Amino acid sequence: MTTTAHGIDTAAVAARHVAAIAPTLAALEAEAPRLAAWGEHLADRLLDGGRLLAAGNGGSAAEAQHLTAELVGRFDGDRRAFSAVCLHGDTSALTAIANDFGYDEAFARQVTAHGRPGDVLVLLSTSGTSTNLVRAAEAARAAEVTVWAMTGPGPNPLTDAADDALLLPGVGANVQEAQLVAVHALCRVFDAVVRDRIGATR
């Protein structure tokens, strides 16, 4: 047993955190058909010349950037690059928009600028209440961009604004951890579909 000077069992603290994600992952496993449908649809859109846009705040921003990196780079073996843009990645645009229009518009204005009919926007949030993500979803719907949300428990404003949503139970940290698994599952389906339809380029 590992304890602090005040007698806290730190190993038990760590074990409780790890154990707490089990129900969240079980719920995610039940959502495999939704992730499969998303992966197939995303492959269709990007193979047809569309692009993926993604956004989140804080840790969810890191998850969004992870998703776009897997598509521009590679996930499951070599293949061609696909267009995927993380909307917080351009810090000059992000801060200029936030400064001039307010942070609530930080992603929506970029969606209006970059989104085209046939594109897909993925929004990640543990709470589903971030106004800047809800505004981005609304801007995407106006631009005929498909919106998918990954959030914690619902209903919440973001899932209401999206075309489809993956809602997971649990506290924010566990939801965020499970969302990374969801991102990887989405990428694995995407790559499998791309490989099936055009073959991997080596």
83-114 pLDDT, tens per residue? 999 999 999 999 999 999 999 999 999 999 99
136-193 pLDDT, tens per residue? 999 999 999 999 999 999 999 999 999 999 999 999 999 999 999 999 999 999 999 9
Three-class SS string for the chain?
CCECCCCCEHHHHHHHHHHHCHHHHHHHHHCHHHHHHHHHHHHHHHHCCCCEEEEECCHHHHHHHHHHHHHHCCCCCCCCCCCEEECCCCHHHHHHHHHHHCHHHCCHHHHHHHCCCCCEEEEECCCCCCHHHHHHHHHHHHCCCEEEEEECCCCCHHHHHCCEEEECCCCHHHHHHHHHHHHHHHHHHHHHHHHHHHCCCC
Q: How much is the pLDDT for 17?
A: 92
Domain ranges of the chain: 22-198
The CATH-assigned architecture of domain 22-198 is: 3-Layer(aba) Sandwich (3.40)
Q: What is the pTM of this model?
A: 0.93
